[in-house]
Amino acid sequence: MELDAVAQGVPLRRGAALPGPPPHSDQPWALADVTELKPGDLLLIGAACSVQFSGDRELRLRLVSVDARPTYHGWVWLAGYVLDAKGLAVDKRELYVQRAGLRVLRAAPVPGRSVRA
């Protein structure tokens, strides 16, 4: 198993992802897999993403794009709009974060699906 190799100091193959802890049913968010992120997702960017977002610097980001350029293992460039407490966009930012720390607050709606009941 790959995690056993990491514990023994053996590097993972290039492009392999380390799994994060599974989300718990009582959590209103889920850990994000960067391959599942899509424009429109609402993300919580906090201390688990990078120390620069700890404490009162935590922010909510409406995702616009995920940069496909290679980065250090486990890190990703995101572009999106920072939302205030009312859900209004107040700033456009590009962020470099650890993908294992991303939390999806609300996934983007699936195109073509009706949201009416």
Which ranges in 36-98 belong to alpha helices (H)?
none
pLDDT in tens, 41-90: 999 999 999 999 998 999 999 999 999 888 899 999 999 999 999 999 99
What is the arrangement of strands in the sheet containing 59-66, beginning at the earlier edge strand? Answer: 30-31, 103-106, 42-45, 59-66, 75-83, 89-98
> 38: domain range?
30-106
The Cα diameter of the chain in Å comes to 52
Q: For residue 2, tell me if it sits in a domain.
A: no
Q: Does residue 71 lie within any of the structural domains?
A: yes
Alpha-carbon distance of 54 to 47, in angstroms, equals 4
Q: For position 98, which CATH number holds?
A: 2.30.30
For residue 72, what are the contacts with CB-CB under 8 A and spacing of at least 6? Answer: none
**For the whole prediction, is pTM greater than 0.75?**
no
Residue 14 scores a pLDDT above 70: no
- Residue 114 falls within a domain, yes or no? no
Number of domains forming the structure of the chain: 1
Residue 113 lies in a domain: no
Q: Is residue 80 part of a domain?
A: yes
In a domain, 76, yes or no: yes
